[in-house]
């Protein structure tokens, strides 16, 4: 049995946590004279439902290898991420099948990888073909909803696809969403230019998440109606937000959180395959992308079309606190318990009997900066 002391992420209370055989066996409040400022915080390990790759590796690369999948996964452990959804964006069927097959092979090779891959996220290819809503997804691979293709991709993944992002206005969307929801797969709306009726029909059919709300959107929107209001106002939809400080202005982030409540917002970093790379222009399967020295990743040759984040989940958790005034506990749950529950997965708490998937970290509240000390997984 091992034990350690830390401050609970949700209450700030100092506790001693005992672990045995991958489980929490005790969480005991302790009294101390020590100043708590120097104590690490402890929270359930982070979960991110949208990770595209890392260090120059994309899950959607048609040459992806098992070793690369394992490298990307191991990289996220240093960022406090205990579980994640490898995310494959709009690509050819061949590339998508290869990507899912390779993720599956990595999970079948290593038990730790199988546990870390809580599912897979297919973002596209059934999205808008318009510039703006489409974001950095390659237009030549955008296509109408195709349930039989989706089933083939899910089979390639070993049944791991737990989340699919589609545009509400994509051809065949309502029927596709109904089938996916019936199969227990979470459907998100994103990369769309849908109107109110299309969004309502998609939510009626079962869509429950808005993928990176406020991004993957037209640069110019009519003041109202527009798809932001429609998604904010529908209480059945929970938004994911990229709270990295670049994708959304703080005022937008704060407004989204206020509209939905801190209990109904999901943080994702949407990390690009170029996350972790130094500034420069890189060829990718989706065209040339540029890592800018301020940390943004853009479609090369311009500065407004972002192409995923260079920053990782823990950065987004820290920035969420600074930008919106939610508590550290609420922000951690946005990158843990809230999306896990939404995806129908086990969401461990800091109680005896729970899986010992824990992250220890330091937090500078004024700067919104979270620094990972250690990740423990059961
Ligand atoms: Zn996207």
Both 56 and 202 in one domain: the answer is yes
Provide CB contacts within 8 A for 318, sequence distance 6+: 331, 363, 364, 367, 368, 369, 370
Instruction: Provide the token pair at 268.
Output: 């994702």
224 is in an annotated binding site: no
Answer whether 333's CB lies under 8 Å from 320's CB.
Answer: no
Provide CB contacts within 8 A for 105, sequence distance 6+: 66, 69
191 is in an annotated binding site: yes
Give the chain's mean pLDDT.
Answer: 96
Closest CA to 328 of 354, 363, 360: 363
Rounded distance from Cα 87 to ligand 1 centre (Å) = 10
Q: How far apart are CA 21 and CA 2, in angstroms?
A: 10
Q: How far apart are CA 91 and CA 68, in angstroms?
A: 19
Q: Give the pLDDT score at 233.
A: 98
Asked, for residue 232, whether it belongs to a domain, the answer is yes
| DSSP-assigned states of every residue in 18-43 | EEETTEEEEEEE----S-GGGSPEEE
User: If you average pLDDT over residues 39-64, what whole number do you get?
Assistant: 95
Instruction: Give the pLDDT confidence of 259-273 residue by residue, as tens digits.
Output: 999 999 999 999 999
pLDDT-derived band at 98 (thresholds 50, 70, 90) equals very high
Neighbouring C-beta atoms of residue 39, cutoff 10 Å: 17
Q: Give the pLDDT score at 294.
A: 82
Cα three-residue angle 166-228-212, rounded to 5 degrees:
50
Asked, for residue 358, whether it belongs to a domain, the answer is no
Both 72 and 35 in one domain: the answer is no
User: If you average pLDDT over residues 97-118, what whole number do you get?
Assistant: 98
| DSSP-assigned states of every residue in 209-256 | EETTTTSSS-SS--SSS-HHHHHHH-TT-EEEE--SSSSS-HHHHHHH
Answer whether 56's CB lies under 8 Å from 275's CB.
Answer: no
Asked, for residue 356, whether it belongs to a domain, the answer is no
Instruction: Give the pLDDT confidence of 271-325 residue by residue, as tens digits.
Output: 999 998 899 999 987 789 999 988 789 989 888 888 888 899 999 999 999 999 9
Kindly list the strands in the beta sheet with 280-282, ordered across the sheet, starting from the edge strand earlier in the chain. 280-282, 289-291, 296-299, 306-309
Q: Give the pLDDT score at 305.
A: 83
Rounded distance from Cα 191 to ligand 1 centre (Å) = 6
Both 22 and 150 in one domain: the answer is no
Rounded distance from Cα 123 to ligand 1 centre (Å) = 7
Asked if pLDDT for residue 1 goes beyond 90, the answer is no
Instruction: Give the pLDDT confidence of 223-252 residue by residue, as tens digits.
Output: 999 999 999 999 999 999 999 999 999 999
For residue 227, give Cα distances in angstroms to 133, 165, 218, 232, 239.
11, 15, 10, 8, 12
Asked if pLDDT for residue 78 goes beyond 90, the answer is yes
What percentage of the chain reaches a pLDDT higher than 70? Answer: 100
Neighbouring C-beta atoms of residue 16, cutoff 10 Å: 14
Domain containing residue 295: CATH number: 3.20.20.140
User: If you average pLDDT over residues 90-112, what whole number do you get?
Assistant: 97
Asked, for residue 360, whether it belongs to a domain, the answer is no
Asked, for residue 355, whether it belongs to a domain, the answer is no
Q: What number of H helices and E strands is found in the chain?
A: 11, 20
Both 32 and 178 in one domain: the answer is no
Q: Is 105 left (phi over 0), alpha (psi -120 to 50) or beta?
A: alpha
Q: Strand pairing partners for 26?
A: 18
Both 369 and 315 in one domain: the answer is no
Q: Give the pLDDT score at 308.
A: 81
247 is in an annotated binding site: yes
Q: Give the pLDDT score at 345.
A: 96
Tell me which DSSP letter residue 200 carries. Answer: H
48 classed as catalytic? no
User: If you average pLDDT over residues 113-136, what whole number do you get?
Assistant: 96
**Structural domain boundaries, residue 8:** 2-41+365-376
Asked, for residue 354, whether it belongs to a domain, the answer is no
Q: Give the pLDDT score at 219.
A: 87
Asked, for residue 153, whether it belongs to a domain, the answer is yes
Rounded distance from Cα 13 to ligand 1 centre (Å) = 37
Q: How far apart are CA 121 and CA 59, in angstroms?
A: 10
Both 184 and 286 in one domain: the answer is yes
Both 274 and 316 in one domain: the answer is yes
216 is in an annotated binding site: yes
Q: Give the pLDDT score at 309.
A: 87
- Burial class of residue 140 in the structure, from the number of CB atoms within 10 Å of its CB (0-12 exposed, 13-18 middle, 19+ buried): exposed
Both 33 and 50 in one domain: the answer is no
Closest CA to 171 of 152, 139, 194, 138: 194
Answer whether 265's CB lies under 8 Å from 231's CB.
Answer: no
Closest CA to 27 of 348, 364, 370, 373: 348
Tell me which DSSP letter residue 56 carries. Answer: T
Asked, for residue 352, whether it belongs to a domain, the answer is no
Instruction: Give the count of domains, the chain.
Output: 2
Rounded distance from Cα 197 to ligand 1 centre (Å) = 22
What percentage of the chain reaches a pLDDT higher than 90? Answer: 89
Q: Strand pairing partners for 40?
A: none
Q: How far apart are CA 56 and CA 286, in angstroms?
A: 13
Both 120 and 188 in one domain: the answer is yes
74 is in an annotated binding site: no
Both 225 and 178 in one domain: the answer is yes
Both 299 and 273 in one domain: the answer is yes
Both 88 and 172 in one domain: the answer is yes
Which of these is catalytic: 61, 129, 234, 270?
Answer: 270
């Amino acid at each position: 049995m091992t034990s350690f002391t830390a401050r609970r992420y949700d209450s700030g209370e100092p506790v001693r946590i005992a672990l045995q055989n991958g489980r929490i066996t005790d969480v005991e409040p302790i009294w101390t004279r020590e100043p708590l400022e120097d104590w690490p915080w402890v929270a359930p390990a982070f979960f991110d439902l949208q990770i595209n790759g890392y260090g120059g590796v994309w899950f959607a690369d048609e040459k992806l290898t098992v070793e690369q999948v394992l490298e990307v996964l191991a990289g996220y452990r240093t960022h406090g991420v205990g579980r994640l959804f490898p995310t494959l964006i709009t690509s050819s069927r061949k590339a998508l099948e290869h990507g899912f097959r390779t993720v599956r092979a990595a999970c079948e090779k290593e038990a730790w990888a199988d546990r870390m891959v809580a599912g897979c996220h297919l973002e596209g290819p059934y999205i808008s073909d318009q510039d703006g809503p489409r974001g950095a997804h390659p237009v030549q691979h955008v296509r109408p909803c195709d349930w039989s293709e989706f089933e083939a991709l899910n089979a390639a993944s070993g049944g791991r696809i737990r989340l699919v992002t589609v545009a509400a206005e994509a051809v065949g969307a309502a029927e596709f969403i109904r089938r996916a929801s019936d199969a227990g797969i979470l459907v998100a709306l994103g990369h769309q230019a849908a109107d109110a009726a299309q969004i309502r029909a998609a939510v009626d059919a079962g869509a429950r998440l808005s993928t990176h709300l406020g991004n993957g959107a037209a640069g110019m929107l009519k003041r109202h109606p527009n798809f932001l209001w429609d998604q904010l106002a529908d209480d059945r939809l929970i938004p994911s937000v990229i709270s990295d400080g670049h994708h959304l202005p703080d005022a937008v982030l704060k407004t989204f959180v206020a509209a939905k409540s801190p209990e109904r917002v999901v943080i994702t970093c949407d990390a690009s395959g170029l996350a972790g790379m130094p500034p420069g222009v890189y060829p990718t399967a989706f065209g040339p992308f540029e890592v800018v020295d301020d940390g943004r990743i853009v479609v090369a040759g311009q500065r407004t079309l972002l192409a995923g984040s260079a920053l990782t989940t823990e950065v987004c958790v820290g920035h969420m606190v600074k930008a919106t005034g939610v508590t550290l506990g609420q922000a951690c749950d946005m990158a843990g318990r809230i999306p896990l529950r939404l995806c129908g997965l086990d969401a461990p708490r800091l109680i005896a009997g729970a899986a010992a998937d824990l992250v220890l970290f330091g937090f500078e509240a004024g700067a919104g900066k979270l620094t990972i000390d250690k990740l423990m997984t059961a």
